[in-house]
Every structure is written in C-alpha cells, then in structure tokens.
Amino acid sequence: MEIIKRKISLDEYISKKADKSWGQMTATTFYVNVFFKQDMDDMGIGTNLDYIENITATTVMNEHFPDTRYTNKTLSDYFGPTLFITGTTSDRLDLVKSYSITQKYQVGLDMLSKLTTGATGNIYTSVDKVISDDNKMPITYVIGGDNTETIDPNNPNQNTGIFFKTYSGITNLGAPLTEMYYNSEGFNETNTTLSAITKDEYLFGITTSPSVYSDVNIDRGRNSAFQSHLQLGEIKNMRDLINYGNGYYKIQKL
C-alpha cells in the first residue's frame, strides 16, 4: 500500500477582516480530490482452454463453497443485468462545441460520427451532439450515443453513450453542475468467457503477436545529395537505423 501525504494551505480559509473574526477559521468543510490508479503486470498472451465440466459432488467447507464450477452451466448463466448509473461530474461541452461564433452549441449537429460495435455485437453509428439547449439551464448532450436513438432530456434512459446535463450559473465543487446518465452493459457474451486461461512459458512478457513489415521507406531529406553514401555502411540492423544520428532518418512503416 502506498501512503500519499498532502498539505492544504489554510490561509485563504482564515478571516482577514478587521473585526473580532480576524484569524478565525471560516470554512467548515474541505474538498480534496483523490486520484486512484491501478498498476498490473502483463504476463503475456493467454491461451484459452476448452471448458471441462466439473462432475464431482460439491461439498461445503466451513460453511463456504469451494472455488469450483458447477455442472450443466452455460456461458449465459454467468451473464449479469445492466445497471443504470447516474452522478455528477465535470462537463464535456468541449466535445460538442462547434466553430460557429454566434451559436457554439448547435442542437442536432453531429460533432463526431463513427461506426461502433455495441455490447451485443450490433453495429451502430455513434455520435457526439447536443440534444437540447434551454439557454444552458440546462444544456443536454450525448457522447458516443446511437444516432438513431431518441433521448428524452427530462427522463434519460438511453441504451448507448453517456448523457449529460450541464447547468449554467449553478456550480458543484467550483465547476458548472453537470449530471451524467449511463446505461452499463453488464456481463454479456462480449466481456465474459467460460474457459480456463493458461500462460505458455515462452510467451511470458509477450503481449501482442509479432508484426513483420517488409517494406521500409527511408526519407533522407533535402540534403541527401550532400550526404555520404558510406553512412549506411555503419548501420548493421534496424535498431541502428532508428537510433542513427539521434533520429536522423525518418522511417515510415508501410
């Protein structure tokens, strides 16, 4: 466990008024941002083994079931329901802002449109766009939502993307109040597997399959006519080529 210590300056929370309150604490609560991070060691490429059904009887040990799989279970038995998540966050207005001087947030304008594969394998066009703008009280918008899906700003219950409501003039922890609504995917066939995962020893530390590029284009720049042709004689492998002259050559993998 890592212990992180932070010091908070109380100067701005101490009264400076020329009266009896001088030097007294004016704040009753403090908000501290805590950032969580998780580090994992990538053990390399995994190999899925076929699922072998456990046909032995399940016994109880100290009122706890052993860590085992039960008979006659299919992948769908491990699926979990979707959860609708709401909360407050920072706004994402920069993602739906247009270049217009008079109307920065245009209702219905697709700021970003791309094909996306959904949780069940369905393909749809996801967009970032403003849904409604009640003079920013609130302005509602969706990030990564299905372009064909209709969202009710007063009762958001969308299936895709994250829906936001940002209120102008109302602050939350010093930032504009922004509500978010998200329908999670739960456990389904796209994020659940029913197989044992093993690690082959020779694949430890290898995270992706090797890629071989047979075509290498070397851009020697405008000064190539003055460059000595003997320079390439000093290069024995690709690493030498990349590191030569502190990145002298511009290498493009085709």
Tell me the domain boundaries of the chain. Answer: 79-183, 210-253
Three-point CA angle 219, 225, 230, nearest 5°: 80
pTM equals: 0.51
Instruction: Count the alpha carbons within 13 Å of 91 in the hemisphere toward its beta carbon.
Output: 23
pLDDT of residue 122: 80
pLDDT of residue 166: 93
- pLDDT tens profile 108-151: 888 888 888 777 678 888 999 999 988 888 999 999 989 888 88
pLDDT of residue 139: 93
Q: Are 233 and 227 in contact, with CB atoms under 8 Å apart?
A: no
Q: State which H helix or E strand residue 238 sits in.
A: helix 238-243
Cα–Cα distance measured from residue 34 to residue 118, given in angstroms and rounded to the nearest whole number: 32
3-state DSSP percent of the chain in helix, strand and coil, to 5: 10, 30, 60
Q: Are 127 and 147 in contact, with CB atoms under 8 Å apart?
A: yes
**Positions of the chain with pLDDT under 50:** 61, 64, 66
CA dihedral in degrees (244, 246, 248, 249; nearest 10)?
60
Residue (of 146, 157, 98, 138) closest to 122 by Cα position: 146
Enumerate residues 6+ apart whose C-beta is below 8 A from 83.
183, 184, 186
Chain centre distance of CA 77: 28
